Amino acid sequence: MAKYTIAWMPGDGVGNDVMEAAKIVLDRIALDAEYIPADIGWEFWCREGNPLPQRTLDVFKRTDCALFGAITSKGTDRADLELVPELRGKGYTYRSPIVGLRQLLDLYICLRPCKAYPGNPLNYRPGIDLVVFRENTEGMYIGVEFGRVPEEFYTVKAMEKVPRDAAISLRSITPGSSERIVRAAFDHASQHGRTKVTAVHKGNVLRQTDGVFMSVARKVAAEYPEIEFDDANVDAMGMWLLKNPLNYQVVVTTNLFGDVISDLCAQMVGGLGFGCSGNIGSHYAVFEPTHGSAPKYAGMYKVNPLATILAAKMMLDWLGETEMAAQLEGAVAQVIAEGKVRTYDMGGSHTTLEMAQAVAAEL
Ligand code: IPM
Ligand code: MG
């Protein structure tokens, strides 16, 4: 029996291309694992009305963790849904299965490292090396939205100023979820020799929800006196990150702000082709590139697989295979530094699989 069992979820679009690339590298490093394919994504929603079928949930129960490619998360709007003839007019609503999966499995940490590997022509500035801890289960992602304010809401006085034809989305921030994400950020900092944690919020406007988040953050920070703690409003943070990216080491924030800030940080170290991500809970984790499924490039083996390969590296770390993880990261760094193999986003013309083979050759 293999040491690990890993749920293998290519998803759709370029998800297949980049997972094939990841497999080349994992095979080369000889991770002792059995990979169990699992269905997720747009295709299954169209066919079965469910992008995350029960059989996939069953695979999670008998695997250690999952590696995931990409899926199409169509817009909120009906217009997208109307494109599927079988479903036209039926009013189905499609919710991103990756968001559902994070909540269902309580993968409360979204960890997004952003490192400027030397030699990457896409680096915004040399030396950037930070990690984003995004709360992954609540905030603006609870899915409680109304196209029109429900009548019974008007029994609450504060609602008087909200027009009757408003659409509303609720943001929920609990002390418990805030505490565990902030604690994860501080633990990571102390385990990885980081000396500073920055909490990001919009406390000057979202007084209640970010009031909870920040009061918990300050309380947790006090337990780690050796680590510097500061905070910033999310708008200012966008500015500061661009101005002084080297001032940041560990950034911790709520769900939607983390979504936005982590894209900004990924862009500073090469963009979509480099953004990797771990959705981590107490017992299970799903690793993925941050990018989407780019349907127009599906099957063309054009996109950069390094985001997925770096997600596989995060998976190795999480499994406790830290030596293998370090080797894999070293191989990625080496290929980037040499600059001989580059995918189109890096100004080159090598394919997805050629990039993976180049990384494998360094192992
Ligand atoms: C991400 C993505 C998802 C999110 C989308 C695809 C629903 O942007 O992982 O950052 O908003 O979390
Ligand atoms: Mg995002």
Contact 129, 120 (CB under 8 A): no
pLDDT of residue 93: 60
Which atom of ligand 1 lies at the shortest distance from residue 256's CA?
Answer: 11
Query: What is the whole-number distance in angstroms between the Cα of residue 259 and the centre of ligand 1?
Result: 7
In which residue ranges of the chain is CATH 3.40.718.10 found? 1-107+275-363
SS3 217: helix
Ligand 1 neighbour 137 (Cβ under 6 A): no
User: Residue 96 C-alpha to ligand 1 middle, in angstroms?
Assistant: 8
For the CA of 110, the closest atom of ligand 1 is: 9
pLDDT score, position 139? 98
pLDDT tens-place values along the chain, 363 residues long: 899 999 999 998 999 999 999 999 999 999 999 999 999 988 888 788 788 999 999 999 999 999 999 987 665 445 555 555 555 555 556 677 889 899 999 999 999 999 999 999 999 999 999 999 999 999 999 999 999 999 999 999 999 999 999 999 999 999 999 999 999 999 999 999 999 999 999 999 999 999 999 999 999 999 999 999 999 999 999 999 999 999 999 999 999 999 999 999 999 999 999 999 999 999 999 999 999 999 899 999 999 999 999 999 999 999 999 999 999 999 999 999 999 999 999 999 999 999 999 999 999
**pLDDT computed for residue 81 by the predictor:** 54
Please report which helix (H) or strand (E) contains residue 57, including its range: helix 54-61
CATH 3.40.50, the chain: domain bounds: 124-138+173-268
pLDDT value for 76: 44
Q: From the CB of 99, is ligand 1 less than 6 Å away?
A: yes
CA–CA distance, 167 with 146 (Å, rounded to integer): 6
CA distance 309 to 23: 9
| Whether 46 contacts 83, CB under 8 Å | no
For residue 272, what are its two tokens?
């979509």
Burial class (CB within 10 angstroms; exposed 0-12, middle 13-18, buried 19+) of 7: buried
Q: Do 69 and 9 meet the contact criterion of CB atoms below 8 Å apart?
A: yes
In this prediction, residue 88 carries a pLDDT of: 56
C-alpha to C-alpha distance for 78 and 295, rounded to whole angstroms? 19
Model pTM?
0.94
- For domain 1-107+275-363, give the CATH number: 3.40.718.10
Q: Distance, CA 141 to ligand 2 centroid (Å)?
A: 12
Amino acid in position 327: Q
HSE of 180, CA atoms in CB hemisphere, 13 A: 16
3-state secondary structure of 201: strand
| The predicted structure's pLDDT at residue 43 | 81
Fold classified for 124-138+173-268: Rossmann fold (3.40.50)
- Which residue has a Cα nearest atom 9 of ligand 1? 290
- Is the minimum distance from the CB of 73 to ligand 1 under 6 angstroms? yes
- Name the DSSP class of 333: H
**N-term to C-term CA, the chain:** 25
The residue ranges of DSSP E strands in 40-108, in sequence order, are: 65-70
Kindly provide the b/e burial profile for residues 35-72, where b requires at least 16 CB atoms within 10 angstroms of the residue's own CB. bbebbbbbebbbeeeebbbeebeebbeebbbbbbbbbb
For CA atoms 309, 310, 312, 317, the dihedral sign is positive
The response to whether residue 343 sits with its C-beta less than 6 Å from ligand 1 reads no
pLDDT at 45: 81
